[in-house]
Structure 1
């Protein structure tokens, strides 16, 4: 039986919101469970300590530190929200969970956070509908893609099988809304467009419209909590090779979003016109937004044909629709003005010269 859960990236947008929801839930499944929050700085330790959780300041990329954190605190489950693009980190954590399993004799679990846009043609995935009930792990291996997210997905499953750790993979789409954590309140993508538009006094969009999967942060955090509850209750749910979950509530039509951003910024006097211009080049878009140039088309124009099945079978019922989202674009702009603490550094490990 799981007793101790470690959340990585607990000061981040997703991790902080998941931690907040876990603390707020009245589910009997979490009764007696101790939550541990992994953070990077002393400031974050102080911010999260008031929540009444066990806060650990640590470098999760260090093997000795990761192993000590899992074994010393008797961690049975890791909810990993810190990174989807560095395979070394989940490998270390899964290895530590494998050691914990050997010591305790109990099953251990790893919840991984991935990215849904890799299942689009722009990212190298074959055309046609893709469901999270499809044999995604086998297909990822067949494609032999060099995309860091795909390589990390494969590494997570292979390492979990090697160490007899059960894992699930939450494929995260475009996320919006204000987070409920104690530190970072904003997502990456939409705030980046707003920030850049304000800085350069002009709103840009790509020459091709995209409509990628999307989800509100509250609905996404709820999915994490549902998965944690199902695991704690030892329910028979898809895991490891079949444990993929598309966290998709609806689609995000980029051109309509950019129109909404332009209107909201113009109404505040932050841009001189409510018109949206086409990016002069993908290279300029990558430079301004701080996104990797190699993946900028997939990030800015992909729609994909992803269909979520597994998450809904768990009983997940997202409350936010596409219509409700588009009506809230003004709130997205205001949230950046209220809570922005600068651009994320999650892409710097891929292309440090581009950020």
Structure 2
């Protein structure tokens, strides 16, 4: 008997890659699942319908009745939410609907939420010092929930899931790099903006400080989701609910090191004039990266010290892309931008209307 999984944001970078990579996974448990992909637009429907063995639906996630109907009609047991880490109203109806599904069938239901690492940055109000996934993250987030919307979303989801009897997990991706595998959007937001900005300016720029940013390749991130779902499907005991925070981090990337590798790769293609890297002001960065000044530091120049034990807590998950491998193949980031242009990102679109 197959298990039905709903992936929201399946037209996006992470969601689309999850759908595509689940379909090609070698995990035996994932051979026996039915994926329903939820998207927003007709264009995304057309793109996702090119995938075999995937049901594609359009779904407004803030419409509680529509969400409940979709969960019950498609007999969804597991939801992987990748749409919004900021707005809890796009997630709570999914949790409530899974609660109804459990009440209807008597079978367990599971909610896997995609959060954001910025919830654990000092710059957003998280306590100073090292943060570990062995810490009481939920309790701290609950105390600080009103100071940052992503924390409030994480807490609200966990509380709601407990209330309606749904088992919940919070996956916390770091900076995600690499080309995605989904059929609609294959570009992340951050790194391609650096590359595109440099190409447009014919010059590399950077912030005055060298920020060290936790990073993960997209194929290692989708592997994390796959291992997590495998643990669910094979009834293995793993941390969940208040203890169910899983950091998606493969390595820590120095921005200075990244730029030092990227500049000569761009110059080798004659996309920039020279390999010298200029320092930009906040205003210049905003213009070149094409995001509002208020979002520049938050999105592109923030970091946090995270001690994670994801490989121990999810046995079988082993990141394939290390820092050395990524930097050795940094030219791939340029190829992705040259071939694909700019990310089809709802986040970028919303920022530009600020």
State the TM-score bracket (shorter-chain normalisation): over 0.9
The alignment partner of 2:60 has SS state of coil
Counting only pairs closer than 5 Å after superposition, residues 120-131 of structure 1 correspond to structure 2 as 120-131=121-132
Structure 1 position 280 matched with structure 2 position 293:
no
- 2:12–2:345 CA contact under 8 A, matched in 1: no
Specify the alignment match of 1:312 in structure 2.
312
Specify the alignment match of 2:211 in structure 1.
210
Specify whether residues 168 and 313 from structure 1 end up closer, same or farther in structure 2 by C-alpha distance, changes over 3 A only.
Answer: same
CA RMSD of aligned residues (A): 2.0
Specify the alignment match of 1:228 in structure 2.
229
- 1:2–1:108 CA contact under 8 A, matched in 2: no
- 2:192–2:342 CA contact under 8 A, matched in 1: no
The alignment partner of 1:158 has SS state of helix
Specify the alignment match of 2:147 in structure 1.
146
Specify the alignment match of 1:334 in structure 2.
335
Runs of 5+ in structure 2 lacking a partner? Answer: none
Tell me by how many angstroms 1:143 deviates.
2.3
Specify the alignment match of 2:179 in structure 1.
178
TM-score (norm 2): 0.93
Specify the alignment match of 1:74 in structure 2.
75
Q: Distance in 1 between matches of 2:14 and 2:343?
A: 16
Specify the alignment match of 1:24 in structure 2.
24
Tell me by how many angstroms 1:240 deviates.
0.9
The alignment partner of 2:216 has SS state of strand
Specify the alignment match of 2:57 in structure 1.
56
Q: Distance in 1 between matches of 2:309 and 2:141?
A: 19
Specify the alignment match of 2:189 in structure 1.
188
The alignment partner of 1:5 has SS state of strand
- 2:186–2:343 CA contact under 8 A, matched in 1: no
Q: For 1:166-217, what per-residue CA distance to the aligned partner results, in whole angstroms no more than 9, with x for missing partners? A: 1111110011111111111111110111112222333221111111111111
Q: Distance in 2 between matches of 1:248 and 1:291?
A: 25
Q: For 1:208-239, what per-residue CA distance to the aligned partner results, in whole angstroms no more than 9, with x for missing partners? A: 11111111111111000000010111211111
Moved more, 255-264 or 323-332: 255-264
Specify whether residues 292 and 151 from structure 1 end up closer, same or farther in structure 2 by C-alpha distance, changes over 3 A only.
Answer: farther
Q: Distance in 1 between matches of 2:147 and 2:163?
A: 22
TM-score (norm 1): 0.93
Q: Distance in 2 between matches of 1:259 and 1:90?
A: 40
Specify whether residues 6 and 23 from structure 1 end up closer, same or farther in structure 2 by C-alpha distance, changes over 3 A only.
Answer: same
Tell me by how many angstroms 1:116 deviates.
1.6
The alignment partner of 1:127 has SS state of coil
The alignment partner of 1:161 has SS state of helix
- 1:133–1:244 CA contact under 8 A, matched in 2: no
Specify the alignment match of 1:109 in structure 2.
110
Q: Distance in 1 between matches of 2:74 and 2:128?
A: 45
Specify the alignment match of 2:34 in structure 1.
34
Tell me by how many angstroms 1:287 deviates.
4.7
Runs of 5+ in structure 1 lacking a partner? Answer: none
Structure 1 position 302 matched with structure 2 position 297:
no
Q: Distance in 2 between matches of 1:46 and 1:300?
A: 32
Specify the alignment match of 1:10 in structure 2.
10
Specify the alignment match of 1:265 in structure 2.
266
Tell me by how many angstroms 1:55 deviates.
0.8
Q: Distance in 1 between matches of 2:236 and 2:2?
A: 13
Q: For 1:78-102, what per-residue CA distance to the aligned partner results, in whole angstroms no more than 9, with x for missing partners? A: 0111221111111111111111111
Specify the alignment match of 2:250 in structure 1.
249
Tell me by how many angstroms 1:292 deviates.
5.5
Q: Distance in 2 between matches of 1:28 and 1:160?
A: 28
Q: Distance in 2 between matches of 1:150 and 1:300?
A: 19
Q: For 1:114-169, what per-residue CA distance to the aligned partner results, in whole angstroms no more than 9, with x for missing partners? A: 11233222232222111112111100112244322111111111111121111111
Matched residue count: 352
Q: Distance in 2 between matches of 1:70 and 1:291?
A: 36
